[in-house]
Structure 1
């Protein structure tokens, strides 16, 4: 029997005692028994809960506290490893490729929404209302000039329009990544 199995076994005994049950016979103990004292019972439930956490956390009573994530940052060397696509790709793919370049495990990832919001603020994308009443992003004239366009794609639900970024637009985003980061930190 492993140590964690022993702890789980002890926990079951303590839990039965806390509930006024003799763990050896599975019979209820008399009401006037010491084990049915409210303070004793609460103490046993408390110990049972600690043992439950120890078992759940594989032998540790308190879960490991994850350190706070550091803000997104990407040095120039890592940016130089970005894999540009000759075929226009959506912003989500650009973001995925950027996030693959993160070396530090404890760093926040970049969200495609951060880039899109920066592009809107900088005047390369705009928000418009679609035929279905939903707000969608579309390139402005400035956006079209840097290589942002719209493509029709197919899904199981039928055709849809997606904003895509050619290689020049991808380069523009990487060249302005510091502005995106500054925008995020505001």
Structure 2
């Protein structure tokens, strides 16, 4: 099955999960088979398998077999990621996430890739300091997902802010790893 066909089948299965007829796009109100919790979970599992298959096979004909695949993490492994009770930096959290990927065949997710996605979503923005250094700072929207800033002073007496990710922010990132992965594949 070619890539486009696989993507179309996946979209159709997702419509079924949401009680929508893939052909007519009409809502299915009375189908008890689709409303069964077991069947809904079965369809969700099929979509997860298709996601993984599509991700790893999208461009295999053009890839050098020695190259690593881009970052991807299954829903099952996402559930295993330990969330810190205290706020942590994004680099620390990226390290925790990367403990759940097979780095022999897959690239690790970088903290900068996560923050780039957060910038696109409007949770972070860049500002340029007087000395020309660029910093990522929180927007007003960042507090909605539990991002925090902490003021520190370096050894030269300069004050600066660091962005920290609370339990809520870490969970937000885990919940959006699919979107972050899609963003990585596009870029």
Q: CA deviation at 1:156?
A: 4.4
Q: CA deviation at 1:77?
A: 1.3
Separation in structure 1 between the aligned mates of residue 149 and residue 136 of structure 2, nearest angstrom: 10
Q: CA deviation at 1:185?
A: 1.0
2:79 is matched with: 80
Is the radius of gyration larger for structure 1 or structure 2? 1
1:101 is matched with: 100
Q: Find the residue that maps to 1:169 and give its secondary structure.
A: helix
2:178 is matched with: 178
Separation in structure 1 between the aligned mates of residue 156 and residue 82 of structure 2, nearest angstrom: 31
Q: CA deviation at 1:103?
A: 3.0
2:155 is the counterpart of 1:152:
no
For these two proteins, the number of residue pairs brought into alignment is 122
Moved over 3 A (4+): 153-160
Unaligned runs of 5+ residues in structure 2 are 1-63
Q: CA deviation at 1:155?
A: 4.9
Q: CA deviation at 1:107?
A: 0.6
TM-score (norm 2): 0.60
TM-score (norm 1): 0.60
Q: CA deviation at 1:130?
A: 2.3
Unaligned runs of 5+ residues in structure 1 are 1-64
Q: CA deviation at 1:160?
A: 3.4
Deviations 1:75-124 (CA, angstroms, capped at 9, x unpaired): 11111111111111111011000001113521111111110000000111
1:134 is matched with: 133
1:112 is matched with: 111
Separation in structure 1 between the aligned mates of residue 132 and residue 103 of structure 2, nearest angstrom: 41
Deviations 1:122-154 (CA, angstroms, capped at 9, x unpaired): 111111122433111111111122111111235
Return the structure number with greater relative CO, CA threshold 8 A, min gap 6: 2
